[in-house]
Structure 1
Amino acid sequence: MSEGGRMSATATRPAVYSDKAYNPTIDTLKGALILLVMVGHLFTAKVDGNPVKWGIYAFHMPLFLGLGGFLLTVESLRRLSFRSLWKKYDTRMLLPWAFAFLLWISLDSVITHEINISYFIEALREPPYHTWYIPVFFFFIVIAWAGRYHFVLTSLIGIFLGVFGLLALGVGHYTGPWRHGFPIDYRYLTMMPFFFFGFWLRQRGASPPNAWIALLVAAAFSAYEACYFYPANAAEIFPYLALNFSMIAGMPWLFRLHWKVPIVTEIGRESLYFYLWHPFILIVLKKATYHLMPEAIAGLFALVFTIATMWFARMAICNLSWLSLLAGLPRRAHLKV
């Protein structure tokens, strides 16, 4: 979903940013976040209806977008015209997303009997379920490209607009005054500060003290989790921002570990494929099994079955060039079993 497990280098940055060797930590982090996305989709409760889901949704998508911003460099963006930027992402990311998006809304419109042009327009305005991520992510990339010669100012504007978006649109229990009737998906604003903080952090090569980061993450997560039991309205924005900014700030340290976890790292290498297609399987399994057994057991079964199905399906898909392209699988000579 974001850039692959290699990172562009400049002479002035520490070895963690080196492009000379593959760093599995990037894919391991992406794989862990994909698994959290899947786990979040297992719950039948709303975000504010379960403390575990509340905790997952406190950071997993902001961290994903922070990682996406962190993996961008102004050097690479300055080498690209807009046409080159589009060509870089059109078939590897935007085409698979468009295919999954059209399939999702087609199936949903058949099920709900909402087959009309207004439904399609509404879905474009506010992409349903998980399909919001790719257009939001690409929108941020385009903004970063447009401001590539003034990355500090671009990052500051992005962070400021994002914080303003959280105040105006809301997070957690808080619903901002602009939330109802907002013309586009609210995450175009509310996720912006995390992408641009990661983008700024990468260009600056900043690496705050590890102990302070760990303490801030623990304190902010505890504070935000406490908001589940004791809603704090707009004040919930502060631990939410502190948690995600501190987790993103820990990336330079994390990427020094060269951390590889079997299965998780491989899922991260094919994160777009697993992200786009897991809900199609999970939702069917939830409808088929959740009424037969306790939700925790059914959810575990659905998670394992979904991962196993997608894991082995990609072996067949990768041999079919067009299907592989539409599925969002990387172009590699072979895939690991």
Structure 2
Amino acid sequence: MSLKTQTYYPGLDAIRGVLIILVVLSHCLSPGTPVFILYSFHMPLFLGIGGFLIKRDYIRNTSTFQILHKYLYRMIIPWILAVGIYYLWRRLLNISVDPQHEILYPYYHLWFVPALLCMVLTVKLFEYWNVPYNVVLGASMLLCLGWYILYREHPDNAIYPWLYYLGDKRIYGYFGFFYLGYILRAYPDLVPKVKIHYVLLVAGVSLFLLIVSIYFPVNRLVSFLPYWVLNIGLIYWAIVYASEQTLTKNSFILFCNKQSLAIYLYHYSVILLASSFLTIKGPLTVALFLITVVATYLTVYLTSSLPFVNKYFFGYTKA
């Protein structure tokens, strides 16, 4: 397989379908070890795959305006509509909303779309300036380290108040993983060949060490190493080994990949609605997860047959 020339990666469809389900699960569960584990890898891996799916030739030869136009219906308009829906929801509940804060720190899960768009445009900028990929990757991993130490567990950390105006810090914390995926496709000849069982062993040990750090707290600088290695290992596994494999033909998982944006944007509305009627604690969080998955799936599946909804609300523009 050529990572650079191949155009379809069936394994990544399956992985992204599973990841979006894990995102929903992480939003349903109460804080604890399972949530810590999910947050340790699902977004870095999702973004690493996202970076890989962007071709370097496209980034270098396409204007910023054309890139924005490409994502206008795929992400931007659906995101704006979702922002409006969640805004109206909170206003109906008499929850105060600060417009400036909403711009810098989008509501709950809505940070992902502007973050992804910013990452794409940042890569475009670095390519325009011809910044060496190793410099960008090294600097982005240092940013990830800074985010991990200062903001990962304390996103509202006010140690440097002026940093507030830089917006949601996950953009900076996760960019390195996005860029890693990007260069794995852009420079396939530089990708080292490592046996898969070694990759999975190292990733597994790293995850174990991260879990241990919950119960035996260590300096964040120390716990960053297994976090970093875990996600590099998973991104390497997904792209180098799993991407060409047909991991599953399960229609539900593949549908979750196809309509991942719709599920991501609107699953939380089901959680909010269910939580307004039920007190969700303990085992009920599993019930909440099942309700959310089923309700979101059925809603998206049934309404995706409407071209207007599919295009403007779900961002699915393919035939």
TM-score, normalised with respect to structure 1: 0.83
Q: How far 1:68 moved relative to its partner?
A: 0.8
1:265 to 250, 254, 259: 254
1:178-197 aligned at under 5 Å gives the runs: 178=160, 182-183=164-165, 184-197=167-180
1:86 to 68, 72, 77: 68
Cα distance in 1 for partners of 2:18, 2:162 equals 33
Greater mean alpha carbon deviation, residues 173-182 or residues 23-32: 173-182
Q: Give the partner amino acid of 2:116.
A: F
Q: How far 1:178 moved relative to its partner?
A: 4.3
Q: How far 1:320 moved relative to its partner?
A: 2.9
- CA displacement 1:37-69 (0-9 Å, x = unmatched): 111011232xxxx11111111111111111111
Cα distance in 2 for partners of 1:34, 1:137 equals 15
Structure 2 residue 201 is the aligned partner of structure 1 residue 215: yes
- CA displacement 1:137-176 (0-9 Å, x = unmatched): 1100001122235677256325413423432534347969
Structure 2 residue 229 is the aligned partner of structure 1 residue 247: no
Unaligned runs of 5+ in 1: 1-12
Unaligned runs of 5+ in 2: none
Q: Give the partner amino acid of 1:189.
A: Y
Cα distance in 2 for partners of 1:70, 1:267 equals 19
C-alpha contact (below 8 Å) 1:66/1:199 kept by paired residues: yes
Cα distance in 2 for partners of 1:95, 1:153 equals 33
Partner in structure 2 of residue 127 of structure 1: 106
SS at match of 1:166: helix
Partner in structure 1 of residue 316 of structure 2: 330
Structure 2 residue 90 is the aligned partner of structure 1 residue 108: yes
Structure 2 residue 120 is the aligned partner of structure 1 residue 138: no
Q: Assess, with a 3 A threshold, how the Cα gap between structure 1 residues 37 and 26 changes in structure 2: closer, same or farther.
A: same
Q: Give the partner amino acid of 1:171.
A: R
Q: Assess, with a 3 A threshold, how the Cα gap between structure 1 residues 194 and 289 changes in structure 2: closer, same or farther.
A: same
Cα distance in 1 for partners of 2:268, 2:235 equals 27
- Higher helix proportion: 2
Q: How far 1:228 moved relative to its partner?
A: 1.0
2:80 to 80, 98, 112: 98
2:282 to 269, 272, 295: 295
Q: Assess, with a 3 A threshold, how the Cα gap between structure 1 residues 69 and 155 changes in structure 2: closer, same or farther.
A: farther
Cα distance in 2 for partners of 1:207, 1:108 equals 49
Structure with higher RCO (Cα < 8 A, 6+ apart): 2
SS at match of 2:62: coil
C-alpha contact (below 8 Å) 1:27/1:266 kept by paired residues: no
Q: Give the partner amino acid of 1:247.
A: L
C-alpha contact (below 8 Å) 1:131/1:276 kept by paired residues: yes
Question: RMSD of aligned C-alpha atoms?
Answer: 2.5
Structure 2 residue 152 is the aligned partner of structure 1 residue 171: yes
SS at match of 1:259: coil
Cα distance in 2 for partners of 1:102, 1:158 equals 35
- Report sequence identity in percent: 21
Runs of 4+ in 1 over 3 A off after TM superposition: 149-152, 172-181
Q: Give the partner amino acid of 1:258.
A: T
Q: How far 1:93 moved relative to its partner?
A: 0.7
Q: Give the partner amino acid of 1:195.
A: F
Q: Assess, with a 3 A threshold, how the Cα gap between structure 1 residues 163 and 301 changes in structure 2: closer, same or farther.
A: same
- CA displacement 1:111-146 (0-9 Å, x = unmatched): 24315xxx1111111112100011111100001122
Q: How far 1:329 moved relative to its partner?
A: 4.6
Cα distance in 2 for partners of 1:65, 1:211 equals 23
Q: How far 1:321 moved relative to its partner?
A: 2.7
Q: How far 1:188 moved relative to its partner?
A: 1.8
Q: Would you say how many aligned residue pairs link Structure 1 and Structure 2?
A: 309
C-alpha contact (below 8 Å) 1:155/1:200 kept by paired residues: no
C-alpha contact (below 8 Å) 1:173/1:231 kept by paired residues: no
1:31-110 aligned at under 5 Å gives the runs: 31-45=17-31, 50-110=32-92
C-alpha contact (below 8 Å) 2:207/2:230 kept by paired residues: yes
Q: Assess, with a 3 A threshold, how the Cα gap between structure 1 residues 17 and 264 changes in structure 2: closer, same or farther.
A: farther
1:317 to 285, 291, 303: 303
Cα distance in 1 for partners of 2:213, 2:268 equals 28
Q: Give the partner amino acid of 1:228.
A: I
C-alpha contact (below 8 Å) 1:42/1:282 kept by paired residues: yes
